[in-house]
A and B are shown apart, each in its own frame.
Chain A
Amino acid sequence: MAFELLLGAWVATGLTLFIFTFLYQDNPLFKLAEHLYVGVSVGYTIVKTYDTVLIRLIYEPMVKQGDWSLLIPLGIGTLMLARYLPNATWLSRIAFGFIVGVGSGLAIPRIISSFILKQVEDTVRPLISIAQGAPTFTYNLSDPSSNLNTIVLLIGVVSVLFYFFFSIEHTGPVRVAARTGILFLMVAFGAAFGYTVMARMSLLIGRLSDLIEYADPQYGRASLWLGVATVAILLLWRVQRREQPPDTG
């Protein structure tokens, strides 16, 4: 096996175990892994941004291909750095103005079209279908497009909107509608929480699958050796902490 694969397996195993030690309690191994994660992430981001943006998208097209029009976005982008110069901070507003203007111009119409108009269009569906010239009503709850589900969706949307309608007091029929809205919201939160639990368990499964793989002899039984080492370090740390006199500060 290639050395870099072996090293990668040992580093991944060690850091996974170090992070897992937090389940026992906060400790130096966890802090080491946490700080490494932050440092490596930031370092990777800086290097990739430098290589992709400054070198590939700006330097090479300008110097090698003579595309000097890139000086315009480069100039606008550079104005951002004026925030660090107390006398020229105002220059950064030009860059911010450009970003806010272009960003809003691009986003607002597209988001209205995609998330409001399209969703309203999907919500307002016929409650009764016409099949072979005769009105029909489908009851299949597992079919999202059935007529019964269309009614459920309509009741859900209207009742939740009532719940968030604060201009009138929630009494009488409005209270009934708002309470129905809460039921729909609870179902939605439950579904979201269920999916979140599933996602978190998937992450645990992913890490444990890796630990099982790296316990193989071809990886030098990294999981076993590092597991033993992690437990030993934690025990030493506990003993050392007990021996230390309490901080009277």
Chain B
Amino acid sequence: MNFAERMLHIDRRIIFLVIGVCTLLPLLYPVGLAIKVSSEVRGVHDYIESLPEGSVFLLSMDYDPASKPELYPQAVALLRHAFRKNLRVIGMTLWLPGTGLADQVMTQVAREMGKVSGKDYVFLGWSPGSGSLIINMGQDLYKAFPTDYYNQPTRELAVLKGIQTLRDVNYVVSLAAGTSGIETWYVYGKDKYKFELGGGCTGVIAPGLYPLLRSGQINGLIGGLRGAAEYEVLIGQKGRAVAGMDAQSATHFAIIVLVILCNVFYLLVKTSRKQGEAR
């Protein structure tokens, strides 16, 4: 077995170790590589920026703890922006396992920004149905959510004053880890009740959502941790996503090098086998 063959049969745990080191080192010793903001992330930011004070912003955190590293920083950045703009914020989730996580991020950012539950924001929690829930909210928000997450009657909440249905919501952003998520909000919500819709998503589902962006069905898309980092740059509050970008670049570089090396070794093995057969 020559060197190239040995390399092709390398213990995969060595590759895990290389990736682990490439991730860990930049997290411990950040370099601060530049982050360029893409037009799709700017689309969400600029729309929120254009909303007047007191406008209604609905953030649907449609993810579970498995997608926390990508979508939690997005939720934090969006909430900081919305609270800074003094928007009335409605939080909810279509994913039952993410209820506690969504409540945690809303409470944490609201406390940081000095906002009061029921007056400046409300967390509605989870309710079953996804698509039919959105239709229900489009007909009567209070029937879909008679109480908020803390069992307070929603009709009595100051933050919801003047809001009857989804038609009264100015902007909806769904942070999605899959279905139900952005597509559900478009199909059963925006297409019917004509509010503006933006999205944030995990990297895995981002390529499938670009057709919605191009056709104008959503006005912006925050994709993965990279998108969250871009949003943090836009609002000028660098957080976990920006901190992770050096590690992301380092691991991508390591993977590219590994892919190239693997192909080189593969070609070397193939060539040497052909030469052996010719002899």
**Cβ-defined contact, A56 with B146, below 8 A:** yes
- Interface Cβ pair total, 8 Å cutoff: 133
- A114: CB under 8 A from chain B? yes
- Whether A199 contacts B203 in the complex (CB less than 8 A), given A61-B146, A114-B187, A122-B215, comes out as yes
Report A-chain residues with C-beta under 8 Å of the C-beta of B28.
212
Convert A58-80 into 0s and 1s, putting 1 for each residue whose CB lies closer than 8 angstroms to a CB of B.
00110000000000000000000
Report B-chain residues with C-beta under 8 Å of the C-beta of A94.
none
- A106: CB under 8 A from chain B? yes
Q: Taking chain A's interface residues, is the majority helix, strand, or loop, or is none over half, making it mixed? A: helix
- B32: CB under 8 A from chain A? no
Contact among A56, A61, A208 for B27, CB-based, below 8 A:
A208
CA distance A106 to B208 in the complex (A): 23
**Cβ-defined contact, B70 with A202, below 8 A:** yes
**Cβ-defined contact, B203 with A196, below 8 A:** yes
**Cβ-defined contact, A52 with B188, below 8 A:** no
Contact among B188, B207, B244 for A205, CB-based, below 8 A:
B244
Contact among B125, B135, B207 for A188, CB-based, below 8 A:
B207
CA distance A220 to B126 in the complex (A): 35
Q: Taking chain B's interface residues, is the majority helix, strand, or loop, or is none over half, making it mixed? A: helix
CA distance A209 to B19 in the complex (A): 15
**Cβ-defined contact, B188 with A110, below 8 A:** yes
- Whether A204 contacts B214 in the complex (CB less than 8 A), given A24-B13, A209-B240, comes out as no
**Cβ-defined contact, A53 with B191, below 8 A:** no
- A residues contacting B by CB (< 8 A) are 23-24, 41, 44-45, 48-49, 52-53, 56-57, 60-61, 102, 106-107, 110-111, 113-115, 118-119, 121-122, 144-145, 188, 191-192, 195-199, 201-209, 212
**Cβ-defined contact, B27 with A212, below 8 A:** yes
Shortest Cβ distance from residue A125 to the other chain B in the assembled complex, whole angstroms? 10
- B54: CB under 8 A from chain A? no
Give the size category of B's interface with A: 35 or more
Report B-chain residues with C-beta under 8 Å of the C-beta of A209.
27, 69, 240, 243-244
**Cβ-defined contact, A41 with B187, below 8 A:** no
Contacts A201-B23, A202-B203 known; 8 new A-B pairs at CB < 8 A? A48-B99, A57-B128, A60-B147, A191-B207, A205-B251, A206-B225, A206-B240, A209-B244
Contact among B24, B125, B211, B224 for A208, CB-based, below 8 A:
B24
Convert B201-214 into 0s and 1s, putting 1 for each residue whose CB lies closer than 8 angstroms to a CB of A.
01110111001001
Convert B3-20 into 0s and 1s, putting 1 for each residue whose CB lies closer than 8 angstroms to a CB of A.
000000000010010011
**Cβ-defined contact, B68 with A195, below 8 A:** no
29 example contacts (A-B, Cβ-Cβ < 8 A) are as follows A48-B99, A49-B128, A52-B125, A60-B147, A106-B132, A106-B188, A110-B187, A115-B187, A118-B217, A119-B215, A122-B215, A144-B214, A145-B214, A192-B208, A195-B203, A195-B204, A195-B224, A198-B225, A199-B224, A201-B252, A202-B225, A204-B19, A205-B23, A205-B247, A205-B248, A206-B69, A206-B225, A206-B244, A209-B244
Report B-chain residues with C-beta under 8 Å of the C-beta of A122.
211, 214-216
- Closest residue of chain B to A201, judged by CB? B251
Report A-chain residues with C-beta under 8 Å of the C-beta of B127.
52, 57
Report A-chain residues with C-beta under 8 Å of the C-beta of B207.
188, 191-192, 195
**Cβ-defined contact, B224 with A198, below 8 A:** yes
CA distance A207 to B23 in the complex (A): 11
Convert B229-273 into 0s and 1s, putting 1 for each residue whose CB lies closer than 8 angstroms to a CB of A.
000000000001001100110011001000000000000000000
**Cβ-defined contact, B226 with A198, below 8 A:** yes
Shortest Cβ distance from residue A147 to the other chain B in the assembled complex, whole angstroms? 14
- Closest residue of chain B to A196, judged by CB? B204
Shortest Cβ distance from residue B92 to the other chain A in the assembled complex, whole angstroms? 12
- B186: CB under 8 A from chain A? yes
